[in-house]
Amino acid sequence: MTRDRILEAAAHEIERNGLTQFRVKRVALEANISIALLYSYFEDREDLIAATVVYRFRQVLVGLAEIFTTPLQGVETTDELHAALKVMISDAQLPFRTEARILRIESMSSPATTRSRHWELPTPSAKPAT
């Protein structure tokens, strides 16, 4: 589908160049379409960027939904439901899944920020001497 191809190309453009260096021309080139065709899908540059962010956010949400829906497929008894709930809870707590979610969300920010940011708990600030 052309719209999805445009949104994927726009997401890659944001990932590579950030929002300030985002160029519609490069998006059209990567999607292998004309700029005129691109603008038949989106009103302007800002509309394209907003649609791209929503598109990526939906992909993140679908990934989260899979954690909660896949274990429920085929559940017929309360014992099966109990087992499925355990799987859902453990999957939601897996560190690599959390990291993957963070990376997907971060991929929408500038490349410099994405490469250098490390998620750490804030350190408590030192109390002033009295």
pLDDT in tens, 90-116: 776 666 656 666 666 666 554 444 444
pLDDT in tens, 9-62: 999 999 999 999 999 999 999 999 999 999 999 999 999 999 999 998 888 887
Give the global pTM.
0.56
Cβ-based neighbours of 114, under 8 Å, separated by 6 or more = 15, 103, 106, 107
Helix, strand, or coil (residue 96) = helix
The domain defined by 2-110 folds into Tetracycline Repressor; domain 2 (1.10.357)
Q: Considering Cα of 42, then 44, then 47, then 51, what sign does the dihedral take?
A: positive
| Angle in degrees, 0-180, between the axes of helices 78-93 and 95-106, rounded to the nearest 10 | 60
Higher-confidence position of 67 and 32 = 32
